[in-house]
Amino acid sequence: MEFLSGQKLEDVLGSDITIVDYFASWCGPCQMLSIELEDLLNREDDIKIVKVDTDKHQDLAREKGIMSIPFVEIYKHKKLATTFLGFKTKEEIEEIIKSL
């Protein structure tokens, strides 16, 4: 898992599937989702996960129109393929990825 720091989001997107997880450290559902994403990352080799702390990156969250977290964007070949809001299990996320 990689945390967005000083770079632009576009610069950290992987070549196949990239999951961008917008979270905050104080958010319970965000912490639960983080565990699921880590499990998913351990099972799938072709997935990259980028975490974006909305408290540290308020401008990006505002630019994306994110009003609630956890909010997830899934990119395929560096193009936004889908998004979802709220907690999902790793199995649900795998199904979303398979449908892309």
Residue among 13, 20, 30, 66 flagged as catalytic: 30
Closest among 13, 24, 25 to 80, alpha carbons compared: 13
2-6+13-98: which CATH topology? Glutaredoxin (3.40.30)
**Annotation marks residue 30 as catalytic:** yes
**Annotation marks residue 8 as catalytic:** no
Which tens digits make up the pLDDT trace of 24-55?
A: 999 999 999 999 999 998 888 789 999 999 99
Residue among 12, 27, 85, 96 flagged as catalytic: 27
Residue 43: predicted pLDDT: 84
Contact 54, 23 (CB under 8 A): yes
pTM of the model: 0.92
Token digits of residue 80: 């936004």
Residues 6+ apart with CB under 8 A from 28: none
| Three-state SS at 9 | helix
For the chain, the domains span: 2-6+13-98
Contact 93, 37 (CB under 8 A): yes
Quote the CA–CA distance of 99 and 90 in Å, as a whole number: 14
